[in-house]
Amino acid sequence: MQMGSDIADRLLKLAVGVVRLTARLPKGAAERQVTLQLIRSATGGGANYEEARAAESRDDFVHKVGVAAKEVRETAFWLALIQRSGWISADLSGIMRETHELAAILGASARTARARASSATP
């Protein structure tokens, strides 16, 4: 199994969960805008993580994992907005918990790689 495949799988499951969730949202103007933003951020997190896994250098990895972490944090924002708006009655606590865990993991990964890069430089 390739390094990071467990995180990649979790990010893919998050994106699938978001796509399924957005299909259940009302179709008003505000909901459509939030839906587009949410889908972009949820799928962007996984896509950027895949880019990081194929990084050409440690600096490239740090940058791309950092972008993935930002995308996942943005996903958490949009999910919280949906929950607080009352647009759907579904319990979003599970998907929100997973989003926060993934954001923390990705952020820690970027910090660790950045620290290793700076300690390796003479």
Per-residue tokens: 24 = 């259940």
Domain count, the chain: 1
CATH code of the domain in which 62 resides: 1.20.1440.60
pLDDT in tens, 9-50: 999 999 999 999 999 999 999 999 999 999 999 999 999 999
Quick check: 116 pLDDT over 90?
Answer: no
> How many angstroms separate the Cα of 14 from the Cα of each of 57, 76, 102, 117?
27, 11, 9, 30
Residues of the chain with pLDDT > 70: what percent?
A: 94
pLDDT surpasses 90 at 98: yes
